[in-house]
Structures are given as structure tokens and as C-alpha cells.
Amino acid sequence: MTTTPATMRLLAGPPSAAGPEQFEAHRTRLGSLPPVGDRREIIPILEASGLLGRGGAAFPVGRKWRAVAERSQGDAVVVVNGAEGEPRSAKDRVLMVNRPHLVLDGALVAADAVGATDIVLYVGSEHRDAHRVLGRALGEREPELRGRVRLVAAPVGYVAGEATAVVHFLNRGDARPTFLDRRPHEVGVGGRPTLVQNVESLAYAALIARHGDAWYRSAGRGRTPGTALVTVSGAVPRPGVREIEYGLTIAEIAALAGTAADGTSAVLVGGYFGGWASLDEVRDRPLDPADRAAGGLGFGCGVVSFAGPDTCGVRATAEIMTFMAGESAAQCGPCVFGLAAIAEASRRLATGAAADDDLERIDRWAGQVQGRGACHHPDGAIGLLRSARAVFADEFARHQARGRCSVTHAAAA
């Protein structure tokens, strides 16, 4: 088979209008997976590839597989995380619906590499098409997968996709994060070492298993090698999921979505765990996980959402904080009460009903909430709030002082 690096991507192959790729077509296009013996040797290749996790934290995939493999007695568990609870992300669904067999391939490679007997497909119950397609894909691969893979409906909710919540749900039917010191790779599903990995990360692992680390590293324009799925939304003519090289600039991503983004003032990068940025400042910055540490944009789960000229940053932020407060798993005080109080004050500011010191209180509460939860949910919410306070600083001040919004030029209610 002759394929160039550019065509060997997750979404290469038939267009999404053609529907889910069937198993025979998938195998004809990409070839079979390497034999089991080779899959067991893949961890150094994954490490050399530089593949990073796509669930939001950009943790190196090879390193995580090694941590599970070191603890496995041949009894580990692989959980394919397709919860996708981030409201502005659609990339995991697009992948599961269009390339189900690539996701299954990745799970199989992972299971052989880490020494796992069981694979759990943990897919958001609201993602009905993904359930239907994966269920049918499993049927196509009988008897190879019989008794080894099960498809589970993840409860609806932002926090249900967090790794310890995933394990807690599979063990106890309760999708709330746990406080235990030991992480899933040590003690996970059924007390066994468990690899919780995002669907996109696994699909790329399936391609790297076929084509090698050098192939993967041949793409990428910035410091992080490879390609990634992004969900582009907001004030763009052609929103949707695209596969890009890491390191594309925000302006280039806007162009892919059909706009120069001239009327846009701000962009939300990385989803609700990411942050707002001023478009003027970041237009030519690369989207690259490695840049986050250097104060760059980061990547999160690949959300790039452009605020239109009619978007009030204060109102948009109040909506997001309200959502995040509502998604707290209600077991840590600072998260439950702090996020609720911040959301309420944000709504007062947004609607022109601010109390005298709401802005000051929001900033103070933010400091009291950060780092005080069992999971990173409140940290993500506070990170987003802080970015909004910086990017929409004038707007927040105007809402606090006069209850007025420069977008509507009227009372902000």
C-alpha cells in the first residue's frame, strides 16, 4: 500500500457523508494491525513518537502505558474514554462515528501492550450515534472481540469523564471523582491496573502501531510533533471538526473555518478547562500543547471557539461559570459553594444587577477555590474565569460600575 504521511491521518479515507467506515473497508485501506507479538513491543515506539493524550492534559501516552504495563499481571483493564462531556467539543464523537475500527484497533493495541484482558468502551450516553456505530462495529469483529470488549453508557455530566470518576462508575455505578491517593494505573477497575485513555489518543496509537514513530513525528509545525483533531465553533462560516498539524496558528485555523476572524475580539482555546485570549494578541500564535508551559495558548481538548462581535465577554463567562457550577460533583465544599457563589455573582454582573463589590469578591473567591477539590474541575473553572477577567477586563469593570455593556450599549440586562 502506498500512502503518504498527509493521507495517513485519523480522518483520511471516505468523507463523513459516506457514514461509518465498515471493518472490511477499514482493513483494506489501512492494512491489518501488526501481530500481537509486535503490539507487546510498542511502548518504546509510542514514547519515541511523542504522542500526547487528547483528553485535555496532554500527558505522554507511552509513559502512561508503561506505568500500567509495569503493574499488570496480565490482568489490567483498558478504558476507552469517549465520555466527551465538554460542551464545545465534538471531535471524539466524530471519530467514534466515522472511524469506529480505528478506535477499536487502538484499544486492542493498548490491551496487548499493557497486558490487559478487558476493554471497556465508556461512551457518553447522550452520544447515541456513537453507541449505535460502536455496537455495530463490535458485531463486525466477532469472534475476535467476544468476551473481551464491553460498551458502557457513561452518565451525562462534565465530571463523568474524569479518570477517577470513570473508574468509580465502573466499580460502583457512581461517576464522581474519588479522593484516593492511588491513581487508576495503580488501582482501577476491579482493583486492577487500569489505563484510561481518550478515544483520539488510542486512534493515533493504532496508526503509529502500523506506520511507526518517525511517520508520526514527520508532521507538526511547532515543538509538539504530530497532528490533532480540533473542534472549531462560534463566529465562523464553517464550524466543525478538523485534523490539523500541531503548531498551526489561530489565524490559519480561522481560515480553515472560512474566515479571517476580523470581527472577532476573543477566542476560547482548549474548552472550559482552557481560557479566553484576545484575538489581536494570539492571531499568529501556534496552537501547541508544549507552548502552554511558556505562557502560550496550550491545547486542552482541541476546542477553538471564536467570539462574534455581538458576544459580551461578561455574559459568555457567566454562562460558562453557571454551567461549571452546575456540573460540580457536589462532594468538596470549595467546589460546590465557591463555584456556585462565583456563578451567581457573574450572573449579577452580566445582567446589570451587580452588588458593589461583586468583582472584588469573584477574584477573592477564585483564590479560595483553586486547588481545593478532589479533582481538577474547580481549577479548570477558575483558570477560565481568570482568563476572562484579563481579556474582558474593561467589560467587567463597565458592568460593575455602570451595569452597562459595550456590546449592547444598553443596560446589560
Ligand X SMILES: Cc1cc2nc3c(=O)[nH]c(=O)nc-3n(C[C@H](O)[C@H](O)[C@H](O)COP(=O)(O)O)c2cc1C
Question: Smallest gap, in angstroms, from Cβ of residue 132 to ligand X?
Answer: 19
Stretch in the footprint of ligand SF4 (CB under 6 A) among 66-74, 134-142, 217-225, 372-380: 372-380
The residue from 111, 163, 228, 325 that contacts ligand X (CB under 6 A) is 163
The residue from 373, 380, 383, 403 that contacts ligand SF4 (CB under 6 A) is 373
Q: Other C-beta atoms within 10 Å of 116: how many? A: 27
Does the protein bind ligand SF4 through residue 378 (CB under 6 A)? yes
176: which 3 cell numbers? 464522581
> C-alpha angle 140/39/21, rounded to 5°?
30
Q: Specify the length of the chain in residues.
A: 413
Residues contacting ligand X: total by CB under 6 A: 22
Contact assessment for residue 341 and residue 324, using Cβ atoms and an 8 Å cutoff? no
Does the protein bind ligand X through residue 159 (CB under 6 A)? yes
Distance of CA 264 to the CA centre of its chain: 24
Does the protein bind ligand SF4 through residue 380 (CB under 6 A)? no
200: which 3 cell numbers? 483520539
From ligand X, ligand SF4, none, interface partner of 328 (C-beta below 5 to 8 A by class): ligand SF4
> How far is CA 181 from each of CA 65, 184, 187, 331, rounded to the nearest angstrom?
19, 10, 10, 16
- Partners of 154 in the beta sheet? 124
- Give the nearer residue to ligand SF4 in terms of CB position, either 100 or 378: 378
Question: Smallest gap, in angstroms, from Cβ of residue 125 to ligand SF4?
Answer: 19
Q: How far apart are CA 352 and CA 408, in angstroms?
A: 12
> C-alpha angle 409/412/413, rounded to 5°?
135
Q: How far apart are CA 45 and CA 60, in angstroms?
A: 12
- Give the nearer residue to ligand SF4 in terms of CB position, either 180 or 260: 180
Stretch in the footprint of ligand X (CB under 6 A) among 20-28, 167-175, 190-198, 276-284: 190-198
Which residue type, as a one-letter code, is found at position 345? A
Q: How far apart are CA 155 and CA 324, in angstroms?
A: 16
Using CB under 6 A as the binding rule, the residues of this chain from 260 to 289 that contact ligand X are none
Give the CB-nearest residue to ligand SF4: 373
Does the protein bind ligand SF4 through residue 328 (CB under 6 A)? yes
The residue from 30, 78, 83, 405 that contacts ligand X (CB under 6 A) is 83
Q: How far apart are CA 170 and CA 187, in angstroms?
A: 13
- Give the nearer residue to ligand SF4 in terms of CB position, either 211 or 386: 386
72: which 3 cell numbers? 499488570
Which string of x and - marks every residue 40-69 that binds ligand SF4 (by CB under 6 A)?
Answer: ------------------------------
From ligand X, ligand SF4, none, interface partner of 197 (C-beta below 5 to 8 A by class): ligand X
Q: How far apart are CA 296 and CA 293, in angstroms?
A: 7
* Cell 478538523, located at residue: 242
Does the protein bind ligand X through residue 318 (CB under 6 A)? no
Which string of x and - marks every residue 342-381 that binds ligand X (by CB under 6 A)?
Answer: ---------------------------------xxx----
Q: Name, in order, each residue with C-beta under 8 angstroms of 59's C-beta and a sequence gap of 6 or more.
A: 52, 53
Q: Under the rule (CB under 6 A), what is the footprint of ligand X? A: 53-57, 59, 81, 83-85, 158-159, 161-163, 196-198, 201, 375-377
Q: Under the rule (CB under 6 A), what is the footprint of ligand SF4? A: 159, 176-177, 328-332, 335-336, 373-375, 377-378
